[in-house]
Structure 1
Amino acid sequence: MKETINQSKLSKPKTFFLSLIILSLFFLIFLSLQPHKSMQKPISDLKIRPGYTSYDNYIHHQLQKTTNPNLRKIWTSTDWHRKIRVFTQFFNRLKHEKLLTNSSKALCVGARVGQEVEALKRVGVNDSVGLDLVPYPPNVIKGDFHHQPFDDETFDFEFSNVFDHALYPDKFVGEIQRTLKPGGICALHVAVSRRSDKYSANDLYSIEPLKELFDGSDLVRSRKVDGFGLDTEVVFRKRKFDVKNY
């Protein structure tokens, strides 16, 4: 009888530990079945402006500027030659630095009426096109920069001065990196030291968020510029292979 009692006492710890192991396994299985939640921390120095109730609401707001007849008249008359002249200076410097060549296939993201596209052609980069919500033939075709209508690795060079208009900066940058060829160049003009206009969807307070977003590219350089309300030029080169995948 005494031996039976001792065996009963010994079996209780074994049963307890076995139950604990089974419960732990069930808990791990439960966790594995839960939806994945991103652990990415918010990017500091980049703030998305509130107020957009839907993506359609955001697009409608952007179109209010792009389709404004008074602005389009200014862009195609008073501003036309002035902006082409300034963009030409920017692109000539990039050519001098061997970051842009006459053989480059180029895209201007958020080009409106295409002054930057015209400037590229005037410096010899003839295979150039612009992308905007509202087309302006022959230099600008219709498209959303959050979802570029181009195949992977299409362009050697991409330029944009509308980063501040991106509601989803990660998608904006992701599409640039997707459509750039390995070794391709992206040049952005952004506002860092001043607040952008009322149609901007985000505010940038340093270039650090850009370096984080361009995770498949290397920073070539940044410099101060006077680019129609934008004060900083940032240039990235897409890596020829992504070290994260090796």
Structure 2
Amino acid sequence: MNITLTKPFILRCFIVSLLLSLPFFLFLILLLLSPQQHYRHVSIATTGNDNLRIRPGYSSYDAYIQRQLNKTLNPRLRKIWTTRDWDRKIPVFARFFEDLKEKKLLQKGSKALCVGARVGQEVEALRRVGVSDSIGMDLVPYPPLVVKGDFHNQPFDNGTFDFEFSNVFDHALYPERFVGEIERTLKPNGVCVLHVALSRRADKYSANDLYSVDPLLTLFNHSALVHVRAVDGFGLDTEVAFRKNTLG
């Protein structure tokens, strides 16, 4: 039996096949444009160190962000942070910063950033010890002390700050990106100070567990280690300070 393939018939077949393929192409476009793709290929595998482990359970970057927001927006916690914790923690942070000033790692004229600052207790402490040009950054802003920003993608230009402080390294889903953004936004010779937990596991909102300082030495690949010391930082037991290389 001979079948004659006319031009209208071929055109109809082409249109039908195109319509059937349309959902796949739409899915592919959405996948490529999804914000979480920016982070999907960032991995700590290059550290080659089992002393830094990412916690499982996040189906997407959006799911990770939502979990962090669940803590940051919790009304009970925000009330504690702005009342009882406010008066309790600021003097302790101020002592930490005064000690860093004595070590010449922080100056009154430093432009400072607190990464993951929630309601800005650390920022207020910096200002009380004379570091007036200080600001915090968190997923939820708390004016005038804290602006909105994701520590995996800081909203600041390269080489903006002289000093950066954070006690939320354990909340980083992508530690390489977290550290990379700190090094990017620090000025050459700028200082980063982290408070981390080594001897105990952090809270249920943490995205990683750190078991030694060694992975940090690898992650801060544009900086030199300044010091490591024990601290009592509200559940965090170790202070690690780095200075960014002069050449960046």
Q: TM-score, normalised by structure 2?
A: 0.81
Corresponding residue to 2:54 among 48, 60, 63: 48
Q: Which of 224, 242, 245 does residue 230 from structure 2 map onto? A: 224
Cα offset, 1:41, TM superposition = 5.6
How far did 1:233 drift? Answer: 0.2
In 2: Cα distance, 1:46 partner to 1:102 partner = 34
- Residue 89 of structure 2: aligned partner: 83
For 1:83 and 1:40, the matched residues in 2 are separated by: 36
**1:173 aligns to 2:179 (yes or no):** yes
Matching residue's letter, 2:69: L
**Which ranges of structure 1 fall in alignment gaps of 5 or more residues?**
1-37
* Alignment gaps of 5+ in structure 2: 1-42
Letter paired with 2:129 = V
The residue aligned with 2:65 is 59
Moved segments of 4+, more than 4 Å: none
Report the equivalent of 2:165: 159
Match of 2:196 in 1: 190
Q: Quickly say closer, same or farther: Cα 1:85–1:241, change in 2 above 3 A.
A: same
Equivalences for residues 7-86 of structure 1 within 5 A: 40=46, 42-86=48-92
Q: Among 236, 241, 246, which residue is 1:235 paired with?
A: 241
Identity %: 71
Residues 191-231 of structure 1: per-residue CA shift (max 9 Å, x gap): 00100000000000000000100000000000000001000
SS at match of 2:46: coil
Equivalents in 1 of 2:187, 2:165: separation in Å? 14
- Count matched residues: 205
**Counterparts of 1:228 and 1:168, CA distance in 2:** 23
RMSD across aligned C-alpha pairs, in angstroms? 1.2
Q: For 1:93-242, what aligned pairs fall within 5 Å after superposition?
A: 93-241=99-247
User: Hey, what's the Cα distance between the residues in 2 that align with 1:166 and 1:43?
Assistant: 17
- The aligned residue for residue 32 of structure 2 is none
